[in-house]
Chain A
Amino acid sequence: MMAATFKCQPTGLHGSGIDASAPRSSRNFGRFYSMRFACNTRCNTLRHVHAPLSISHDSSTESSLILIRHGESLWNEKNLFTGCCDVPLTQRGVEEAIEAGKRISFIPVDMIFTSALIRAQMTAMLAMTQHLQKKIPIIIHNENEEATTWTRVYSEKTTKQSIPVITAWELNERMYGELQGLNKQETAERYGKEKVHEWRRSFDIPPPKGESLEMCSKRAVSYFKDFIEPQLKSGKHVMVAAHGNSLRSIIMYLDRLTSQEVTTLELSTGVPLLYIYTEGKYMSRGSPVGSTEAGVYAYTQSLAVYRQQLDEMSP
């Protein structure tokens, strides 16, 4: 099943839409934003070349939020309903994660949130192997006293060079109840195609013993508001690696979508989405283009400056 990209198309300086994304995601479903953006990065480079550069720019006004949906899992490949079964990535899913990592390699990341499922965690860790900044993700363990003690870091310097990774079941995929592990074709035969379609695409009808999208949204969005938003507010740049349903729930909140709109929202796997959080508002910035792909930058000035600094730092 092909997922269309939910992508904001940056309009160029000359007003033409530029499809600056990966080959798979040329169609644009869902909401469409035409964005204005400051100017292309070359302007910023020239303008700021003499200004004092610092990695931690004026962070109280702007922070970036990256959303990544994990790539193909072994059950996706087999066409089985996965839900909260903890199934790992296929080789292709691994490649998608690395590819996603290349696309965000120059966007600052201070904290990472993932679900409790390995496919999202692996996606985050694989993506971060491509990141240009030298900080290192470290998974935080707070499940009990011993785990916290055992994972303690004893160097301030090392801690400063770390990106905490927080795993949360609230970011898990929607729980699919009695459909988990079932073949999609068989399920359609057993319950009827319409019924299955209804479970998959309605907002508030759960499969037997499972969650509706509404139920999934409730726990995902409240986690986002309680734990992730405060980080953004304080100027931290955040990456969230999660699943189709938990992410669209969050996007529903960020973009203020209706339940009707969210049920038709499809997120590409492995294609990261960028939001800028500024003054309490979320601006969708589309999908960062890979560093080797031509396109018009839709960066804010500060992101462009950050990127420039990284370019100068790397050999």
Chain B
Amino acid sequence: MAAEVYYQAIGIVQSHSHLNNFNRHQKHQSNIVRLVARDFVSCNGLSRRSTNRSGRRNCTVIRSLASQTSVVDPVLSPSRSNAGDSNKKSNEAALILIRHGESLWNEKNLFTGCVDVPLSKKGIDEAIEAGKRISSIPVDVIFTSALIRAQMTAMLAMTQHRRGKVPIILHNESERAKSWSQVFSEDTKKQSIPVIAAWQLNERMYGELQGLNKQETADRYGKEQVHEWRRSYDIPPPNGESLEMCAQRAVAYFRDQIEPQLLSGKNVMISAHGNSLRSIIMYLDKLTSQEVISLELSTGIPMLYIIKEGRFIRRGSPIRPSEAGVYAYTKRLALYKQKLDDMFQ
């Protein structure tokens, strides 16, 4: 069976689209994020989003782990007989981050921000593709932003999930909404994945640039000013948010509402936006503001973190089930996948 998680030693390097078999430590000064490549295994199709003409990279930044014995297939290892391990919720949980795919305004090159624009056809395909990649990773609770493109991405992705649990969006906006959406079967509840929508996970609010054509805005304000708004840490566009402001509310929400879930052993998926997710990653990976402003997340490519003993360990991006690769799962995840395989045999 195909491996599904692998470590990718990423280059946000001009010429590279992917790296193979790196065994050395690399530091790229020109690029802002530190790169550590160890125990690298195969890279397969993930970095198809390499540099585009404007110089922006759409690669995920991943630091691989030295400690993980990625070469050994945990499913086949002798310790597999400890089936009970997978049930120990104790202190390990999976965190999946998904950035939604192309929206109809992305297609038109308009600044979107918090305007609630849905996915394009391509964005729908990206969401389903993302879903295939995480189809064997447990999900107990889902958090999305209040915007339809992130919600759709989550729901489309979950149509691919093998476990068969059903996402249910929670409604707490009013008493009536709460009572009307009540479920009256315990069995059904157990088979449900609560979905919580939070404006705090929304995209960065772009103020007076929302709805404007990127070219026109450059013409109106000047390319440098626009670039500054887009890429600085603390300079907001008129009536909008800086990345810092966005990070403030996104990370606060993460710490208050999401982290406790993870610490209690719940596996979480977050479906959100470029800026709210990089804010969270800034917190998870302890990045500096300098590092975060050049962090680019691929759209529709999920990122996996393992929370273990209070620490967030990045595990790269799960590859599709049909892609070959070496298992880089934790034991627990591998057992979970094995169970799914058994269920569907």
Contact = CB atoms under 8 A, between A and B. Distances in A.
B155 A89 contact: yes
B154 to A, nearest CB: 9
B171 to A, nearest CB: 6
Contacts of B147: 139
A87 B176 contact: no
Contacts of A143: 173
A74 B171 contact: no
A220 interface: no
A147 B117 contact: no
Q: Looking at B151, B181, B208, B209, which has the most chain A CB atoms within 10 Å of its CB?
A: B181
Given A116-B177, A151-B115, A182 B169 contact: no
A94 B123 CA distance: 14
A85 B185 CA distance: 12
B324 interface: no
Q: Is the interface of B mostly helix, strand, loop or mixed?
A: mixed
B181 A84 contact: yes
Given A136-B108, A139-B116, A86 B124 contact: no
B210 A154 contact: yes
Given A87-B166, A89-B159, A129-B121, A151 B114 contact: yes
Contacts of B158: 88
Contact of A153 (B152, B189, B195, B211): B211
Interface string B195-215: 100010010010111111100
Contacts of B19: none
Contacts of A151: 114-116, 210
Among B110, B160, B170, which residue has the most Cβ atoms of chain A within 10 A? B110
Interface in B159-183: 159-160, 166-171, 173, 176-177, 180-183
A299 to B, nearest CB: 26
Given A75-B166, A87-B166, A180-B183, A153 B115 contact: yes
Contacts of B213: 155, 158
A173 to B, nearest CB: 10
Nearest to B185: A181
A91 B151 CA distance: 15
Specify which of B117, B173, B189 lies most central, judged by the most chain A CB atoms within 10 Å of its CB: B117
A172 B119 contact: no
A83 B160 CA distance: 24
B284 interface: no
Interface in B113-153: 113-121, 124, 146-148, 151-152
Contacts of B283: none
Contacts of B202: 150
Contacts of A310: none
B54 interface: no
A187 B316 CA distance: 45
Interface residues of A, number: 51
B101 to A, nearest CB: 12
Contact of B185 (A87, A90, A116, A183): A183
B122 to A, nearest CB: 9
Contacts of A86: 168-171, 181, 195
B105 interface: yes
Contacts of A178: 184
A138 B113 CA distance: 12
A155 B117 CA distance: 15
B104 interface: yes
A181 to B, nearest CB: 4
Interface in B244-284: none
Interface residues of B, number: 53
B160 to A, nearest CB: 8
Interface stretch (A7-15, A117-125, A196-204, A264-272): A117-125
Contact of B124 (A126, A140, A155): A126
Contacts of B212: 154-155, 158
A47 interface: no
A83 B185 CA distance: 13
Contact of A118 (B114, B169, B180): B169
Contacts of A181: 183-185, 188-189
B120 A129 contact: yes
A150 B114 contact: yes
A156 B94 CA distance: 44
Interface in A150-185: 150-155, 158-159, 165, 169, 172, 175, 177-183
B188 A182 contact: yes
B13 interface: no
Interface in A36-83: 74-75, 78, 80, 83
A91 B121 CA distance: 15
A44 B122 CA distance: 35
Contacts of B166: 74-75, 78, 87
Given A85-B182, A180-B183, A181-B184, 11 more contacts: A86-B170, A88-B158, A125-B118, A125-B119, A129-B119, A136-B117, A146-B199, A154-B211, A159-B211, A172-B180, A180-B181
15 contacts: A84-B180, A87-B166, A89-B159, A94-B156, A129-B104, A136-B108, A154-B208, A158-B211, A158-B213, A175-B180, A180-B183, A181-B183, A181-B184, A181-B185, A182-B184
Interface of B: 104-105, 108, 110, 113-121, 124, 146-148, 151-152, 155-156, 158-160, 166-171, 173, 176-177, 180-185, 187-189, 195, 199, 202, 205, 207-213
Interface of A: 74-75, 78, 80, 83-91, 94, 116-118, 121-122, 125-126, 128-129, 136-141, 143, 146-147, 150-155, 158-159, 165, 169, 172, 175, 177-183
